Structure 1
Amino acid sequence: MLMLRLGRAADLPQIERLAAASPVGVSALPASRERLAEILGASEASMAEGVVFSGEERYFFVLEDTETGVLAGCSGIIAASGFRSPFYTFRNEMFVHASRELGLHNRIHVLSLCHDLTGHSLLVGYHLSDEYHQPDVMELNARGRLLFMASHPQRFAESTSVEVVGISDEQGHAPFWDAVGRHFFAVSYTEAERIGSERGRGYLAELMPGYPIYVPMLSDEAQEVIGQVNPSVQDVFDILMDEGFETDNYVDIFDGGPVVHAKTALLKTVRHSELAVVELGEPQEGDTLWLVANTRVGDFRACALHMDWQPGAPVVLSALTAQALKVAAGDQLRLVRGG
Structure 2
Amino acid sequence: MLVMRPARMADLVEVQRLAADSPIGVTSLPDDSERLRDKISVSQASFAAEVSFNGEESYFFVLEEVATRRLVGCSAIVASAGYSEPFYSFRNETFVHASRELKIHNKIHVLSQCHDLTGNSLLTSFYVVPELVGGPWAELNSRARLLFMASHPERFADSVVTEIVGYSDEQGDSPFWDAIGRNFFDLNYAEAERICGLKSRTFLAELMPHYPIYVPLLPDAAQEAMGQVHPRAQVTFDILMREGFETDHYIDIFDGGPTLHAPVSSIRSIAQSRVAPVKLAALDSAQHAPHSRQYLVANAQLQEYRAVLLELDWVPGQPVSLSPEAAQALGVSDGASVRLVAV
Give the TM-score band, short-chain normalised: over 0.9
1:284 and 1:27 map into 2 onto residues whose CA distance is 39
1:185 aligns with 2:185: yes
Q: 1:297 aligns with which of 285, 302, 313?
A: 302
Q: Do the aligned partners of 1:27 and 1:163 also contact (CA within 8 Å) in 2?
A: no
Q: CA RMSD in A?
A: 1.0
SS at match of 2:169: coil
Distance 2:228 2:28 in 1: 17
Bigger mean CA deviation after superposition, 224-233 or 248-257: 224-233
Distance 1:221 1:285 in 2: 50
What's the CA shift for 1:185?
A: 1.4
Cα distance in 2 between the residues matched to 1:81 and 1:194: 20
Give yes or no for contact 1:27–1:127 (8 Å, CA) kept in 2.
no
Shift of 1:246: 1.0
Q: Which piece of structure 1 moves more, 283-292 or 263-272? A: 283-292
**Identical columns (%):** 56
SS at match of 2:138: helix
1:164 corresponds to: 164
Instruction: Choose the corresponding residue for 1:311, options 308, 313, 316.
Output: 316
Q: Which runs of 5 or more residues in structure 1 are unaligned? A: none
Deviation string for 1:208-258 (max 9, x for gaps)?
111000000000000011111112222221111111111010000010010
**Residue equivalent to 2:130:** 130
> Equivalent residue for 1:55?
55
Q: Counterparts of 2:53 and 2:264 in 1: how far apart (Å)? A: 14
> What secondary structure, in the 3-state scheme, does the structure 1 residue paired with 2:172 have?
coil
Q: Which amino acid aligns with 1:308?
A: D
Structure 2 distance, partners of 1:236, 1:135, is 11
Q: Within 5 Å, which residues of 2 pair with 1:38-187?
A: 38-187=38-187
Show CA shifts across 1:261-280 (max 9, x none): 01012200000000000111
Deviation at 1:59, TM superposition (A): 0.5
What one-letter code is carried by the residue in structure 2 that aligns with 1:335? L
| TM-score between the two structures when normalised by the length of structure 2 | 0.97
Unaligned runs of 5+ in 2: none
Partner residue in 1 for 2:293: 288
Equivalent residue in structure 2 for 1:335, among 330, 333, 340: 340
What SS is found at the alignment partner of 2:160?
A: strand
In structure 1, what residue type is equivalent to 2:175? P
Does the CA contact (< 8 Å) of 2:27 and 2:193 recur in 1? no
User: Given the superposition, is the C-alpha separation of residues 27 and 289 from structure 1 closer, same or farther in structure 2, using an over 3 Å criterion?
Assistant: farther
* SS of 1:309 mapped into structure 2: coil
Equivalent-residue separation in structure 2 for 1:133 and 1:141 (angstroms): 10
Instruction: State the alpha-carbon separation in 1 of the partners of residues 219 and 26 from structure 2.
Output: 23
Paired with 2:274 and 2:202, the residues of 1 have a C-alpha distance of: 38
TM-score normalized by structure 1? 0.98
User: Following TM superposition, where does structure 1 have runs of at least 4 consecutive aligned residues deviating by more than 4 angstroms?
Assistant: none
Measured against aligned partners, the alpha-carbon deviations of 1:70-125 in whole angstroms (never above 9, x if no partner) come to: 00000000000100111000000000011111111110000000000001100000
Measured in 2, the distance between the counterparts of 1:115 and 1:300 equals 32
